[in-house]
Copies of this chain bind each other. A is one copy, B any other.
Amino acid sequence: MRLDSSGLQVLSREECLRLLSSAPIGRIVFTDRALPAVQPVNFCLDGESVVIRTSIGSKLAAATRHAVVAFEADEFDPATRTGWSVTAVGHARAVSDPAETARLATLPLSPWAPGSRDHFVVVEAEQVSGRRIARERSI
């Protein structure tokens, strides 16, 4: 088990993608008017891409257009102070091809927030990294 300089376990790409696929909610990190911005979203992993459903006029759709963004998911247990986090960094793109939109619409991805959200944003997981905090005794 490889540890990073902070003593956290370094997760493999395969483990990162497995954990990402288990998370119901992630956070998309982008730049909004030159300031760091972060927004929780429900999502679906499609192969090695993160798929998000939003409305075409949303701030998220505008801010992530042709941008490199980060996408993070995690799960921590305050009682045992253990958990994991995974971050994927890559180009975001708005899906405009009707055939791709139709395929993505079949994914198990229904929006939590109210309103029409028929616009898909895909983040290619180009760089994936993950860490795990295990119980101190086992480190």
Residues in A lying within 8 Å of B, measured CB to CB: 5-8, 24-25, 27, 29-31, 35-40, 55, 58, 68-70, 72, 74, 76, 78, 81, 83, 85, 87, 89, 112-115, 133, 136, 139
A58-B25 in contact (CB<8A)? no
Q: What's the Cα separation between A25 and B72 when bound, in Å?
A: 14
Residues of B within 8 A of A78 (CB): 24-25
Contacts of A55 in B (CB 8 A): 6
Give the top 3 A-B pairs by smallest Cβ distance, nearest first. Answer: A7-B114, A36-B70, A24-B78
Known: A24-B76, A29-B38, A36-B69. 10 other contacts (CB 8 A): A6-B55, A24-B78, A35-B70, A36-B68, A38-B72, A39-B85, A40-B72, A40-B85, A112-B133, A114-B136
Contacting pair B89 A36 (CB below 8 A) = yes
- Tell me, in angstroms, the Cα distance from A87 to B78 when the chains sit together: 20
A24-B76, A25-B78, A113-B7 are contacts. A37–B136 as well, Cβ < 8 Å? no
Decide yes or no: A76 and B115 within 8 Å by CB, A6-B58, A35-B68, A35-B89 being known contacts. no
B-side contacts of A27, CB under 8 Å? 27, 38, 72, 74
Chain B residues lying within 8 Å of A25, measured Cβ to Cβ, are: 74, 76, 78, 83
Q: Which B residues touch A38, using CB under 8 A? A: 27, 29, 38, 70, 72, 87
